[in-house]
Amino acid sequence: MTKEQSEALFQRGLKVLVEGVSSASRGPATFGGAPRYMSHGAGARLYDVDGRDYIDWMMAFGALPLGHAHPKVVETITREVARGTHFATALEVEVEVAEMLVALLPHVDKVRFANTGTEAAMAAFRLARGHTGRRKIIKFEGHYHGWWDAVLVNTNPLPPTMLGHPNDPIRIPDSSGIPEEAWKDTIVVRWNDFDALERAMALHGRDAACVVTEGVMSNMGVIPPKPGYLNRMQELCHQYGALFYLDETVTGFRLAAGGAAELYGLSPDIVTYGKALGGGLPMAMIGGRNEIMAGLEWGKVLHFGTHNAGRLALHLTKVMLETMLADNQAGFARIKELGLKMAAEMRQVAKASNRHGMVVQGVNSMFQIFFTKKEEIADYRDFCTHVDRTKFRDFALRLMDKGIYMNPSATLHSLSSIAHTEADIAATARAMAEVLEEMP
């Protein structure tokens, strides 16, 4: 198969873009060399500049529950772009979309729109600190809440000898250029561990502005919460007066219409959403009850943004919600059905091959394959110690050669959209069986 055009673009890109791309997860750090340069997408397919096509299981890191170029998206953008791109003024569609969101999410009385998950999280942390007058943030090992200094701590896999005692994880920022003051009030706790949580809350709960968690660990593959774990976290937050902040950037408008909060029966104090919310354009939001969200009023906790509530993105958010919610939320039921089917097929293929230690973990429309000798990857420490990431990259790159696109990083995950079909699942399973036979 030819990759000539991608190679040529990569060489050109290297001269003018850092690593040839705009985010490490798209370039050589993840691909080991030139990535595939994509030219267009349609439905569940991506097409590269060398004329190859792929079944796309990455879906822009979860930003596309409707798939690529959904007819309603194309129609809406075409209509609205002719009326102006962005005004940075109050908008009717802003009110309409906020009304839809408040009607859908029982824990949300008010929303504030932002552009990206990172930005929404930054505002949410500031709001939590402003609302409580407390400084500490309790976060979990392996959880990612965007690239802001205060929470960019223990978000990447570490060598097992650098993890520290489970009661007291060694705190390691994931970047140079982060001053110690930025994360001095950030407490890192082992996730999915009831005892570690109780202990951390007894030690820090009274000083904590919030406890922040992903609903499903989504940046170490896919690791579901243990039964009752998030509910206990919510209880402990109430007990110690810390806000319970559920980061739904990945899980929102994906695991269910009401995200992880609905799936696990939670009522978080603060939530942030991004990715799927915008249906393909940058859109994020902070949500919560009236008394907490009132903290964002002028003169209290500041949150600004030239591009907040972009009108094109709001129109797409509206299209995404209308499409996914139609016929009694059939869109959410469909992506769940497809995600569960794909994960089940993968388990079958892995079992039939029996050449590699593998487990497939998933929650509804999200799934990931781990090359491991363990039967389950239950937390970040399992991931760091027992998952063969090099082998996953080899697997994903071989799949790519067969027209199946998954991000080659084992820390990420795959996702279904309403554009996928049972035929895509069958084609993916066939390619996977071949790759497992070929792999050393």
Nearer to ligand PLP by Cβ, of 22 and 239: the residue is 22
Which single residue brings its beta carbon nearest to ligand PLP?
117
Please list every residue from 128 through 147 that binds ligand PLP, using CB under 6 A.
Answer: 144-146
Tokens (6 digits) for 174: 């994931």
Least distance (Å) between residue 122 CB and ligand PLP: 9
How far is Cα 396 from Cα 408, in angstroms, rounded to an integer? 5
Nearer to ligand PLP by Cβ, of 214 and 262: the residue is 214
Binding window for ligand PLP (CB under 6 A); candidates: 95-103, 169-177, 212-220, 235-243: 212-220
Indicate whether 310 belongs to the interface with ligand PLP (CB under 6 A): no
* Contact track, ligand PLP, 407-426, x by CB under 6 A: --------------------
Calculate the CA 243 to chain-centre distance.
21
Q: Pairing relation of β-strands 366-371 and 414-415?
A: antiparallel
At residue 300, what is the residue type?
K
How far is Cα 55 from Cα 78, in angstroms, rounded to an integer? 26
Residue-wise DSSP of 311-372: HHHHHHHHHHHHHHHHHHHHHHHHHHHHHHHHHHHHHHHHHHH-SS-EEEEEETTEEEEEE-
- Residue in 218, 234, 308, 407 binding ligand PLP, rule: CB under 6 A: 218
Indicate whether 214 belongs to the interface with ligand PLP (CB under 6 A): yes
* Contact track, ligand PLP, 220-249, x by CB under 6 A: ---------------------------x-x
Least distance (Å) between residue 274 CB and ligand PLP: 4
Indicate whether 35 belongs to the interface with ligand PLP (CB under 6 A): no
Indicate whether 219 belongs to the interface with ligand PLP (CB under 6 A): yes
Q: What are phi and psi of 15, to 5 degrees?
A: -75, -25
Indicate whether 58 belongs to the interface with ligand PLP (CB under 6 A): no
How far is Cα 243 from Cα 335, in angstroms, rounded to an integer? 31
Binding window for ligand PLP (CB under 6 A); candidates: 113-121, 291-299, 384-392, 418-426: 113-121
The residue assigned the tokens 């409580």 is 132
How many residues are present in the chain?
440
How far is Cα 128 from Cα 361, in angstroms, rounded to an integer? 32
Q: Which residues here bind ligand PLP, judged by CB under 6 A?
A: 116-118, 121, 144-146, 214, 218-219, 247, 249-250, 274
